[in-house]
Amino acid sequence: MGLERVRVVLVRPQHAGNVGAAARAMKNMGLERLVLVAPQHWDPAQATTMAVHAADVLARLRRAESLAEAIADCGLVVGTSGRATATQLGALSPRTLAPEIVAASATNDVALVFGPEDHGLSNDDLARCQRVVSIPTADAYGSLNLAQAVLVCAYEFLLAAAADGGTAAAAPTGAAAHGGGGTRTLAASERLELMYAKLETALRAIGFLHRDNATPMMRALRRTLGRAALDEQEAAVFLGLARQIAWVATARDKALVEGKAPER
């Protein structure tokens, strides 16, 4: 199995040279799809110089205005984080997560997302990711250059793909395959974002979410459902749930206005 459906997404990269070096790392490990989200101080010539023999990766890169645009059609989105708090997000090492990513890429577009060089992905960026990867480092100095981080992750994906040998693409779907996608087609990020928006609106309508708890509660909900690796049918169930909650809330509010007790 190849890695043709795995894309590397660099969010607000600050140095064109790092983008070029990341492209070189990608080509070393068999990744070809590069997406830049709102790059800062973009200099194609500098990027090409650092890319060395990976100029073709740069030539095919796609630019996006937002992370949402860059990952809209992806069934699995993996964010990267070097924060000490990454474990609270369920972060796993590239080696641990690589087999799941390779399996999911059999039938889904997969995005591996890196943040700006100075502070990485924001909390809002990470909230859009179903999985989080964190690269283990020595305690003395844990900060990695962007291209180094891309290389480490891509290396583990290459090894996992070689070990898989196409078995994930041929494996039957089922409970064992559910967590990582297997041959299942997962709900696209754009569809999941619609689901989360509808759920948040509905949960606010019934008072479950309010000003003080909405952000942490929605992040917890995103992490929980992200680990479930929802397919399109499952996402539709939650969309239906959100519509029903919103309908009940509207009926309740109407009854209160009219001075009637809501039906149970």
Residue 164: per-residue pLDDT: 79
Q: Which residues of 156-182 are buried (b: 16+ CB within 10 A; e: fewer)?
A: bbbbbbeebeeebeeeeeeeebeebbb
Q: How far is CA 47 from CA 41, 54, 120, 198, 200, in A?
A: 11, 10, 20, 41, 41
According to CATH, the topology of domain 6-178 is Alpha/beta knot (3.40.1280)
Mean predicted confidence (pLDDT) in 180-201: 88
Sign of CA dihedral 96, 99, 103, 106: positive
Domain parsing of the chain, residue ranges: 6-178, 189-257
Q: What is the pLDDT of residues 210-232, one digit of tens each?
A: 989 999 999 999 999 999 999 99
Q: What is the pLDDT of residues 147-168, one digit of tens each?
A: 999 999 999 999 999 997 755 5
* Residue 174 banded pLDDT, cuts 50, 70, 90: very low
The crossing angle, in degrees rounded to 10, of helices 16-28 and 146-164 is 20
In whole angstroms, give the CA distance from residue 13 to residue 131. 21
157 backbone φψ class: left, alpha, beta (φ>0; ψ -120 to 50): alpha
Q: What is the pLDDT of residues 93-152, one digit of tens each?
A: 999 999 999 999 999 999 999 999 999 999 999 999 999 999 999 989 888 999 999 999
Residue 103: per-residue pLDDT: 95
According to CATH, the topology of domain 189-257 is Helicase, Ruva Protein; domain 3 (1.10.8)
Helix, strand or coil, per DSSP, at residue 9:
strand
pTM: 0.88
